[in-house]
Each structure stands twice: as structure tokens, then as C-alpha cells.
Homo-oligomer: A and B are copies of this chain.
């Protein structure tokens, strides 16, 4: 599912970013993967085809993307940050042994929580978003988890 370049260009430009080659490939990798990669992982993926791009640029670019609201930074119980290009509201399932972060989107759950906060007000606070962190471990690490 290769996102077409035009779309990527528009997305970058639409967020007030100058379109550069490095930004294109970094954003493209994020679009193509659903594994919520770390900076290092993104760097590994792109450097085959683009050996000149430096790790520092990957870090800086990711930070710029986060600032501009293009991607989200997500934190894990290990020491490193991971990045998520999926911007719709969704939750994350953390597998404590495989370290995977699996997306979990459920409209009913979202509504449930949103509804709850319509009643429950948090004063002196401007609520931006909520995310459910579900943690546990895969029973068979080789297989996918399945939500039914």
C-alpha cells in the first residue's frame, strides 16, 4: 500500500512544512508501517535506499512532525519513544513480552469514555485527548491477537 507521493507532499505542505526528500521518506515509512517504530527503526528502514540521511535528521524530523501535528509520539515502558502516523483516536495494546504496540480502535469504547467525560467534568483543565493503554501479553507470541 504505497502512498502516492503527491499525497505525501500535500500533507507536508498542508502542515506548513517545506517539502524535502528526507521528510518525504520518513513520513512515507511511518505511513507504510503499523508497528509504531522508534527513530532508530525508521532510520534502519530508510538508509538502505538513502544512505546519506543521518540519524540526527530522523530525530529532528520526527520532532518537527510531532510539533506540527502530523504524527504522535508514544511512550513505552522501555526507554525509547515510538511514533505513530495514525491520527484518528485509537487505543493501544502493549504486549509486554514482544514489545509490540497494537492498535485497537473501537467506536463503542470511544463513545463510552467520551460520554463519561460529558458528565464528569475536570475543572481547570483543558482535556485534549484520552487513550486507553491496555497491557498484557500474547499467549502465542507467533500469532496475532484477535479482537472479537
| Cross-chain contact B122 with A145 (CB below 8 angstroms) | yes
| Cross-chain contact B77 with A75 (CB below 8 angstroms) | yes
- List the one stretch of A6-14, A50-58, A129-137 in contact with chain B: A129-137
Interface size class of A (residues with CB under 8 A): 35 or more
A110 to B: closest C-beta gap in Å: 11
- List the one stretch of A18-26, A28-36, A113-121 in contact with chain B: A113-121
| Cross-chain contact B125 with A148 (CB below 8 angstroms) | no
A144 at the interface (CB under 8 A from B): yes
Q: Interface SS of chain A: helix, strand, loop or mixed?
A: strand
A139 to B: closest C-beta gap in Å: 5
Q: How far is the CA of A146 from the CA of B125 in the complex (A)?
A: 8
| Cross-chain contact B122 with A146 (CB below 8 angstroms) | yes
Q: How far is the CA of A143 from the CA of B124 in the complex (A)?
A: 8
Pairs A-B, 3 closest by C-beta atoms: A128-B136, A123-B146, A75-B75
